[in-house]
Structure 1
Amino acid sequence: MLIHLMQHGVCLSKELDPHQPLSPVGREQIEKSARAAQILGLRFELVVASPKVRSLETAKIMAEQTGYPSSRIQVTDVVKAMTPAKKTLDYIRDYNGLESILIVGHLPSLGALASHILTTITPVDIAIENGGLMQLQMNMKETYGTLNWYLTPTQLAVIGLN
């Protein structure tokens, strides 16, 4: 299974909006990342987002650009910021058999999930920038996976220009 991890785009401060939706900069950032995902030919059989507004907005933009129906986005607490990696991985395992999924969430849980998939002994500190996208390959019968690539929002924006 290909597991794509994306941190939501840059959001408004709590002072400006307590729900912290995407800022105009964050929306533009995700639109560029989504165009790059389309150019790269990414297709998802499942898109998962946290219930936070910024995560759901990011997931909708990614879904629309890559041909996934936004009405089918799975909203769940298992990709919130402080969710243990094992809990998120157990959720992913419920979808064994799918070829490609996208998880739009938050730090530190996305980094912890990537670390849990990539290392079996010592956790590694992994940061995913707002709007960055990581692809991991995981055989669900194994306890670990492989990093295929990680693209920063800047790299995705360059791809999206083509």
Structure 2
Amino acid sequence: MKRLLICRHAKSSWKDPDLPDFDRPLNKRGQRDAPEMGRRLAAHGFRPDLICSSPALRAMSTAQLYAGQLGYPLDRIRYNPHQYAATVPVLLQLLQEIEENVQTLMLVGHNPEITALANLLGGLTMDNIPTAGIVALEFGLEHWRGLHPGAGSLLFFDYPKIQG
């Protein structure tokens, strides 16, 4: 069995309009939500064997905050430049190339591709994974290379509930 945590980065800042998209940091809400979602994953008993993240600042920061809550070593996070502005076929290929000893994988990236990937792999019809949202899928597969559309079963979908 393989488990995949598909994670959208936490809320980013638009404070500096001249800052390139790649370099946008998390805003205060994102800095609050990411650790909370990491705590929720820990409460569910999820311990990723590997965290793969887009190298964009907001995704890296989210991955690091999740890792901190999950006791995952920060120096083991894999930053893949192909995850930034990736198409769904590219993301699927990246997943199919994951080492076989990885049972639980966390993928931290961007919309709309993250939502499209969750829909494709889980046979879902989600409109949008909100910032810091997580879709957990389970696959009855021995090898990541066997990943294909509709192969996943939804374990849970969670995202921060903002209190008014």
**TM bracket, shorter-chain basis:** 0.7 to 0.9
Partner residue of 2:34?
30
Following superposition, the deviation at residue 14 of structure 1 comes to: 5.5
Aligned structure 1 segments of 4 or more residues deviating by more than 3 angstroms: 123-126
Distance 2:131 2:121 in 1: 20
2:43 pairs with 1:39: yes
Query: For the Cα contact (< 8 Å) 2:96–2:147, is it kept in 1?
Result: no
Determine the C-alpha separation between the residues in 2 that align with 1:64 and 1:142: 28
**1:4 paired residue number:** 5
Which 10-residue stretch deviates more, 48-57 or 123-132?
A: 123-132
TM-superposed CA distance for 1:48, in Å, is: 0.8
Q: Give the match for residue 151 of structure 1.
A: 158
- Taking the aligned partners of 1:79 and 1:14, their CA distance within structure 2 comes to 24
Q: Structure 2: how far apart are the matches of 1:16 and 1:142?
A: 39
5+ long unaligned stretches in structure 2: none
Count residues with an aligned counterpart. 152
1:132 aligns with 2:136: no
- 2:10 aligned counterpart, secondary structure: coil
Q: Structure 1: state its 5+ residue gaps.
A: 158-162
Distance 1:125 1:148 in 2: 14
- Residues 37 and 17 from structure 1, CA distance in 2 versus in 1: closer, same or farther, beyond 3 angstroms? farther
Cα distance in 2 for residues equivalent to 1:133 and 1:125: 12
TM superposition score normalised by structure 1: 0.84
Q: 2:90 aligns with which of 84, 87, 90?
A: 87
Aligned equivalents of 1:77, 1:14: Cα separation in 2: 24
| TM-score, scaled relative to structure 2 | 0.83
Cα distance in 1 for residues equivalent to 2:147 and 2:58: 32
Quote the Cα distance in structure 2 between the aligned partners of 1:51 and 1:3.
Answer: 19
CA distance in 1, matches of 2:42, 2:122: 26
Contact 1:115/1:124 (8 A) holds in 2 = yes
Q: State the identity %.
A: 24
Q: Secondary structure at the match of 2:65?
A: helix
Change (3 A) 1:17 1:135: farther
